[in-house]
Amino acid sequence: MAAQRIFIVEDDLKIAELLAENLRKYHYVVETANDFDQIIEEFETFDPQLILLDINLPSYDGYYWCRQLRQQTTCPILFISARSGEMDQVFALENGGDDFITKPFHYEIVLAKIRSHLRRAYGEYAPKQEERSIKVGRNVLFMERMELHVKKAIIPLQKKECTILELLLTHYPKVVSREQLLEELWDDQAFVDENTLNVNMTRVRKKLADYDVSSSIETVRGAGYRFLLHEEEA
């Protein structure tokens, strides 16, 4: 089994490095946050299987980042904080966290909780469910894996890329409206910039092109988008 990846979002560099060093002894692959205004971008680049998240952070607090991360991932998020009040723990869980560890902590407790959550999310205690997939021509989208399989290529996807393809393939060959895409991709459309959907659509198109997938996404002016199946992949 490949080493599991853990992302530490902690602005106390000493604590972050000690945590990382300790976890690496147990063969986890660990990255610590470098830019606390670019947490989502760093998350997407590293693609971790578990996140340790502090509450007191520069710019935005851990509650804010947990809500943003939950739009990208269902992986376990464990809060680590010097705050010990009951309401802090309530806020952490209500904003998408899975557990709360109070500083100062024993590394053995942190390690035990990490192992427990990883087992429940990916291991022997993970719920066994029939895997969902959508097939259009030779394009097969596996939603839980967040992968698009096209002939021999396996294309890894980010959460929003997967959601876009899920909608387009589900409705193929029909057009999916921008409003429907916005509603599925973001809970509150009022805070979504008009260009945000365009940016995400461009990322999906680029990823298909990077893997030499001939099928593409067509813009239907005034209506929305639809998946265009190329004859090579029909």
Please report, for the domain that includes residue 172, its CATH number: 1.10.10.10
- The answer as to whether 127 is a domain residue is no
Residues 91 and 139 in one domain: no
Residues 60 and 91 in one domain: yes
Dig out the tokens for 233 from the structure.
């992949």
- The answer as to whether 199 is a domain residue is yes
- The answer as to whether 128 is a domain residue is no
Residue ranges of the chain whose pLDDT lies below 50: none
Residues 89 and 158 in one domain: no
Look at residues 94, 122, 150 and tell me which one is the last residue of a structural domain. Answer: 122
The total number of residues written for the chain in this structure: 234
Q: What is the pTM of this model?
A: 0.58
- The answer as to whether 93 is a domain residue is yes
CA 41, 189, 53, 5 torsion: positive or negative? negative
Residues 222 and 147 in one domain: yes
- The answer as to whether 182 is a domain residue is yes
Look at residues 122, 151, 184 and tell me which one is the last residue of a structural domain. Answer: 122
Residues 100 and 24 in one domain: yes
Q: At what angle do helices 159-171 and 194-210 cross, to 10 degrees?
A: 80
pLDDT score recorded for residue 187? 63
pLDDT score recorded for residue 195? 82
* Domains: count for the chain: 2
On the question of a cis peptide bond just before residue 127, with omega within 30 degrees of 0, the verdict is no
Spell out the alpha helix ranges (H) of the chain: 13-24, 39-46, 62-70, 86-94, 107-122, 159-171, 178-185, 194-210
The boundaries of the domain holding residue 139 are 133-233
Residues 63 and 169 in one domain: no
Look at residues 122, 157, 176 and tell me which one is the last residue of a structural domain. Answer: 122
